[in-house]
Amino acid sequence: MEKPDKLNRAKERTVLCFNFEHAKMNWQRKLSPFKWKVHNVTTLSQAVNLLKGNTILVAIAILTASTQKQAISIIANLVSSFPQIKWIAYSLDDNLKNSAVSAKFSEYCIDYFHYPICIERLAHTLGHAYGMAQLQPQIKAKNIASYDTATLIGKSNELRQLNNHIKKIAKVDSSLLITGETGTGKDLCAQLIHQQSARANSPLININCGALPESLIHSELFGHEKGAFTGAIDKYIGHIERAHQGTLFLDEIGDLPLELQVNLLHFLENHTIERLGGAKPITVDCRIIAATHIDLETAVVEGRFRKDLFHRLNILRLRVPGLREHREDIEAIAISFLKPFQQANPKLKFSNSAIECMLSYEWPGNVRELKNRVERAVVMQDGNTISNKDLGHHFAKIKMPTKNLNQQREDIDTEILLDAITRNNHNISAAARDLKISRTTFYRLIKKCNIKL
């Protein structure tokens, strides 16, 4: 077996890590000695978006007996859409062999590991899978081209208007600011604009400004040279440079620190960057699309966001409506989220009570919450019909009261934050990771909700 130091001389390869159990093992740290770059995802949409924008040939599914039913449905969907990928299953317990569902894993996975795992064996298997996947490049090229068709689901006036605006915006190359509540699908709109633009054959690079530690944002955006700082053992090409001739999507731009806002403004003005530790300006031609769920005008007044950067980004503006604003589309969207799971169980469907409940609910988390509710219901249902109870215990109770929308959102945010803090024993860093937001965003929400730590 090859040693890590020998593998260090090889070219870095990429692996998708689909964490169905939300386990907190640091796969990047474990696999980096073997020259693997790890992309972690926890949902089907995250996986699809990542696979469409990157050449990935191997994937690991991390699961338990309780999540294998959900896992097999999602893996089946991904295999049909991205057949070039070789899958490896890793179970955190040893119960899969006792389940009838586990037999299906042999159809999609080339190998199976269980806890405790031997990283050297896993790295060897990954290398073998990667080599086998490279023998079928014609499948990869055909598949990626056929899957590149993201759509907005629904026939409401709001979505028709949104689609019309997207078509117009895609024809030009100006900077764009997408606004809307959390979970409305701002990233999907950015993807649609890129697909319909003249840059569609070049990369769409997506970076969440609120999910990166402040110490890494500069390096992630602008890159760094070898030896620029302790631990910079190789040159790193940043997200902006990778978006050359394509589109750079900056999600949650309102969470970008002020000092980085200056660097981004400089790039927007002259289209050049300098890698950290570098001395040579690099010209980059890319379109900038930024998105935020916060009121940037208010952030400018409060000094949290640069006024000049705001005006640079706000040349074009697109507002994505909340799910409650186009209720007639809820059923169609929910059914679209159910379809991937129907490949494993074609009889799976929503009950009338579940549909009525979804239509009457206010959806503070918008389309993202609807998707998460459907995935939860698939795991919790016992037969072939999803009931309103499967959608969540408190689901029907959270209806819009007479108080205003801002107060309603604040109450829900407060409950979610307190649950995360309690669940992680008052460890704020862990609670922020649990909610997939940065510590900066977490503290800002704590302050907004008047939570006393």
> Per residue in 305-339, pLDDT tens?
999 999 999 999 999 999 999 999 999 999 999 98
Q: What is the mean pLDDT of the segment spanning 421-427?
A: 78
Q: What is the mean pLDDT of the segment spanning 43-64?
A: 83
Domains and CATH numbers, the chain: 4-147 (3.40.50.2300), 157-319 (3.40.50.300), 323-397 (1.10.8.60), 405-448 (1.10.10)
The reply to whether the predicted model has a pTM over 0.95 is: no
Q: What is the mean pLDDT of the segment spanning 129-157?
A: 63
Most confident of 49-63, 124-138, 306-320: 306-320
**Residue that wins the pLDDT comparison between 134 and 397:** 134
Model pLDDT, residue 146: 33
Lowest mean pLDDT among 158-172, 344-358, 373-387, 407-421: 407-421
pLDDT band at 207 (very low <50, low <70, confident <90, very high): confident
pLDDT band at 116 (very low <50, low <70, confident <90, very high): confident
Question: What HEC string does the chain produce?
Answer: CCCHHHHCCCCCEEEEEEECCCCCCCHHHHHHHHCEEEEEECCHHHHHHHHHHCCCCEEEEEECCCCHHHHHHHHHHHHHHCCCCEEEEEECCCCHHHCCHHHHHHHHEEEEEECCCCHHHHHHHHHHHHHHHCCCHHHHHHHHHHHCCCCCCCCCHHHHHHHHHHHHHHCCCCCEEEECCCCCCHHHHHHHHHHCCCCCCCCEEEEECCCCCHHHHHHHHHCECCCCCCCCCCCECCHHHHCCCCEEEEECHHHCCHHHHHHHHHHHHHCEECCECCCCCEECCCEEEEEECCCHHHHHHCCCCCHHHHHHHCCEEEECCCHHHHHHHHHHHHHHHHHHHHCCCCCCEECHHHHHHHHHCCCCCHHHHHHHHHHHHHHHCCCCEECCCCCCCCHHHCCCCCCCHHHHHHHHHHHHHHHHHHHCCCCHHHHHHHCCCCHHHHHHHHHHCCCCC
